[in-house]
Amino acid sequence: MSGLEPFGARLRRAMDERGPLCVGIDPHASLLAEWGLNDDVAGLERFSRTVVEAVADRVAVLKPQSAFFERFGSRGLAVLETTVAEARAAGALVVMDAKRGDIGSTMAAYAESFLHKDAPLFSDALTVSPYLGYGSLSPAVALARENGAGLFVLALTSNPEGGEVQHAVRADGRNVGATMLGHLSVENAGEEPLGSFGAVVGATLGDLSSYDLDINGPLLAPGIGAQGATPADLPGVFGAAVRNVVPNVSRGVLRQGPDAVALRDAAERFAEEIRHAVAAS
């Protein structure tokens, strides 16, 4: 065993102490340019370190998008390793946004890359795709449990194309998104204060009252800020499950860089707005 408390317990405490905000670390080329940085490894490193130093000691979750590091090859992955380690050392939980999904030994290898306690890229949780069947995630579920980590499973995503799969209706009358939520509810049964197996559910989707979002696990909610959703929208979208929502803001915070104070102020403003919206629900 890793010695870590389960991810769900650690996340609940971080959300209660720091507010439920998740800040994305998405160093894509246009943001590097906005910061006056070159689209190279040096720019990547400067960008990532600035975000971590500005907010990792005060937000609950940081979510690096692995693709923006992977595009630079091994040197980019070295920056990602440092980013993860420094963020966790500052007290933030790290959700690796890698959206991995495969079968058998390949899924197990993906899990070992991010969820094994001795892996260079060990993260507190990993985003995963269940669209080779939820059972294909079994190696990741098992390794997450063993190492005190968690998963966020794509269920009802904010991209318009997602509905093609997630709204497809199965023979039992439930659609695929609802089926994924049902699987996660089973994974989290009996866990206190919060299960470690969450869903990705877009904050831009409007009224989701037809879905049972009470999975006793966290709901990672992209879409706040640049995609159009606001903290005030959260109670209307998530209803009674809003206390377990981890709203993700990326560009809404990152565009305030490279000034560290501006980044910090933006993160604190979003965190306070989210805290107020949840308390008022």
Residue 34 maps to a domain: yes
pTM to 2 decimal places: 0.97
For 89, the 3-state DSSP assignment is helix
Q: Token pair of 175, please?
A: 């659609």
The separation between the first and the last C-alpha atoms of the chain, rounded to the nearest angstrom, is 38
Residue 46 maps to a domain: yes
Reported in sequence order, the residue ranges of the chain that DSSP labels E, i.e. its strands, are 22-25, 61-64, 93-100, 125-128, 150-156, 197-201, 219-221, 245-249
pLDDT value of residue 107: 98
Rounded to an integer, what distance in angstroms lies between the CA atom of residue 83 and that of residue 45?
8
Residue 196 maps to a domain: yes
pLDDT value of residue 1: 52
Q: Token pair of 192, please?
A: 């206190």
| Residue 2 pLDDT > 90 | no
Residue 72 maps to a domain: yes
Domain of 44? Answer: 7-280
pLDDT value of residue 108: 98
| Residue 197 pLDDT > 90 | yes
Residue 1 maps to a domain: no
Residue 221 contacts residue 203 (beta carbons within 8 Å)? yes
| Residues involved in catalysis | 99
Give the CATH number, domain containing residue 217. Answer: 3.20.20.70
> How many domains, the chain?
1
What value does the mean pLDDT take over residues 258-263?
A: 98
Q: Tens of pLDDT along 124-173?
A: 999 999 999 999 999 999 999 999 999 999 999 999 999 999 999 999 99
| Residue 226 pLDDT > 80 | no
| Residue 3 pLDDT > 70 | yes
Q: Tens of pLDDT along 161-184?
A: 999 999 999 999 999 999 999 999
pLDDT value of residue 91: 98
Residue 243 maps to a domain: yes
pLDDT value of residue 60: 98
Conformation bin of residue 246: beta by default, left when phi > 0, alpha when psi is -120 to 50 = beta
Residue 235 contacts residue 242 (beta carbons within 8 Å)? yes
At residue 227 the predicted structure's pLDDT band, cuts being 50, 70 and 90, is: confident
Residue 270 maps to a domain: yes
At residue 196 the predicted structure's pLDDT band, cuts being 50, 70 and 90, is: very high
Q: Tens of pLDDT along 69-123?
A: 999 999 999 999 999 999 999 999 999 999 999 999 999 999 999 999 999 999 9
